[in-house]
Structure 1
């Protein structure tokens, strides 16, 4: 081919070991990624790309590992970030919702939703997460979308969605569906922030709302997400109300399908597993939340089986008072560690499968594998530079094992989303973190006072003199 290149990169990320997650799962030692606008233009040897485009601005990734941006398939951006480490971790089942979550959300001002989302976005990016799926507990979605845009993260936006009479924040099914349709139209597919058909779930939706939401998802092309069976309470409730277990009831209503991402699905029986696999329904697995909340994943969880049988599985970190961290690499390690231990079989899923769940597998489960999840030409330039000079990386061994078993989000040095540098040398460049911390401290105190939640500490705190 003669003549000038049809496109020229704006940036070369050079000198790192590039974990492409392409179909061949190639790792390019001393590789480079060429970024043009929002997209990846080329991936290859540093020497070759430098020679092809001399003089291009470079980001030096020497002694680093470069991966695709991580995908968090279930994250609560509001409700918890301004109340971090406030909800006690020794509450009986249901108390954290009734005594804490509902009052906190009821007390949220629009500015609180936006500030919470800023916090969630910065924490996510600093842990290498470039795409998040909002869990739906948002009262002011446009303020949350504004925060996501400001911080520069890719993701989806949902809103409160339920219609059970007497429940806080409830509305008639038609009103909920209209609100969801407006949100999907306001944030169409392909944008940095996409509107999804989002229900809270947990038995809080009528059959009319469930079926209507699935119809909206199919007609609009926007994916749908909701919570289901993180504990044994959901199956018990559905059995009392419908005579069917949750996943089977959804199947009867025509809700299951490749458009649907179910969060949790810990308590499933054999028939429910088959229904999810047959319908190609995707799951967002948040293992840390189940352990912290004592929801029984080690007794009932079947996520490893679903993955082994070709099911669609992604990872999530849930809420700031559930899993307590946006570090998806920790969640990835726990997911495969639990799989090995629950089966008493060390030959089960390992670091390679964990990294797939966090990147290309997660991207496929949330319906975005054509755009993100791997470092390939034409995809969005969502990538993470991990500093591999620390003792946890010394000496260098298998990259997948060191990313999953040895490392965590603290190794994340630089992050690009859509070609834009949003984390540089461990610091967010899109948001002033010092101002954010001060704003969050002030807003948190005011929020907790308005909510009237029962603040307590198990250790006495006394001023030092």
Structure 2
């Protein structure tokens, strides 16, 4: 019995042959794709589907993958109004002392809903942000985040790990309006990471995974005692992940730090994926290529303003590169169409060569290449029989996506998150004709607003939402 038939659209398979079929169809049974091909052939083999999604005028493609973002940011993203230092300090305060589990659940539902409506069916989220400020004093916060994502229904990889030394780190919990301070050791943080792996890795019918995480070491002058401390902590966290078969993530590599991660700490390997990766040295690139590290390029992030990720060179050297939104943060969301276009323009401008980063490569970087970088290409990233049924449709019958030729070009450069019409994850329809079927959107927004107000009161940071658009000026 075929459960779902998506038919009549422009089928962009992302399979090994990169087939693009003008009038195609995908048949789904349970949580798996059972047929992909021309509509007439698929319909003949699967004539009585329980649910039929008509995709005429739309592209049918695999769900999009966001390789790097941050939990918590959805309720913090406006703060500071472009002052990245003020915003980073706000993250430090909020994620340690002003964010109870209800904050993490509300933000997770909001962020997952944004991803869903933009066709992102798999997303990586660090449980915090700023300068490696993770909410790892108690597993309740990570569990609340997982519950929120689970309600929306997309796939998620939650990256968790210790804060940067020194330890202990001040955290706070709340009993009503009463704040209770705790000084949390590295050992306690590692214990929480282990608990989250045990409770959440592989949960939600396999849609949820944990990745372990360590802060990036970037010091140019090495203190032997500090290096020994980081090496010991990295070994503990890496071992927790390896025992459970998790991925390993680091946020914010630049200028020699990938080579140091291998040379000083032994962190690199084919299970590792690193974000930003700007101003890399030859040693960095050689280490990533040799050890199998995958790179997440964040083209709209502040790090890309302050430095440059050499994506074309990494690709030429055989390194897997995916795109991440780094969202949601002060000035960027999780619209992966926007990030594809920004990726193209950044590297074309850097090389003065508009032939760089063609649309096919860009689309690979948010589908099959991202799946490979996350060690998930056997199950997601393309439309092939036997793979998980993560399928989206994108409306191409709009003025901004016309005329009806050069479909992949139009899909990458002219479509946007708001053009996503249908989303299926694990064989379950989560959005149909822009109507989300899993959560009440108005209720999600109301809860997010209420938790934001409570967070502003707890943190004492309401001043950071004072708006200064910069009218009449060229610089804030």
**TM-score of the pair, normalised by structure 2:** 0.86
CA distance in 1, matches of 2:70, 2:188: 23
CA deviations over 1:31-89 (Å, ceiling 9, x no partner): 110011111011122222222222213111111101110000111121x2123323311
Contact 1:126–1:412 under 8 Å retained in 2: yes
CA 1:168 to 1:294, structure 2 compared with 1: closer, same or farther past 3 Å?
A: farther
Query: Which residue of structure 1 aligns with residue 179 of structure 2?
Result: none
Query: Which residue of structure 2 aligns with residue 104 of structure 1?
Result: 94
CA distance in 1, matches of 2:460, 2:304: 26
Query: Which residue of structure 1 aligns with residue 147 of structure 2?
Result: 146
Give the CA deviation at 1:196: 1.6
1:179 corresponds to 2:192: yes
Contact 1:317–1:328 under 8 Å retained in 2: yes
Give the CA deviation at 1:171: 4.4
RMSD, aligned α-carbons: 2.2
Q: How does 1:171-320 map to 2 (within 5 A)?
A: 171-189=184-202, 191-201=206-216, 206-229=230-253, 245-252=256-263, 253-290=265-302, 295-297=305-307, 300-320=308-328
1:45 to 32, 38, 50: 38
CA 1:68 to 1:76, structure 2 compared with 1: closer, same or farther past 3 Å?
A: same
Q: How does 1:106-125 map to 2 (within 5 A)?
A: 106-125=97-116
Contact 2:160–2:210 under 8 Å retained in 1: no
Query: Which residue of structure 1 aligns with residue 54 of structure 2?
Result: 60
1:84 to 77, 87, 102: 77
How many corresponding residue pairs?
433
CA deviations over 1:310-359 (Å, ceiling 9, x no partner): 10111111132245211011111211221111111122221111000010
1:69 to 63, 69, 76: 63
What is the SS of the residue equivalent to 1:13?
strand
CA distance in 2, matches of 1:168, 1:340: 45
Query: Which residue of structure 2 aligns with residue 4 of structure 1?
Result: none
CA deviations over 1:383-435 (Å, ceiling 9, x no partner): 11001110122111222211111111111011111111111222321110111
CA distance in 2, matches of 1:46, 1:364: 28
Contact 1:82–1:440 under 8 Å retained in 2: yes
CA deviations over 1:354-390 (Å, ceiling 9, x no partner): 0000100011011111110000011111111001110
Structure 2 spans left out of the alignment, 5+ residues: 129-133, 136-140, 172-182, 219-225, 472-476
Query: Which residue of structure 2 aligns with residue 20 of structure 1?
Result: 13
Give the CA deviation at 1:213: 2.3
1:385 corresponds to 2:369: no
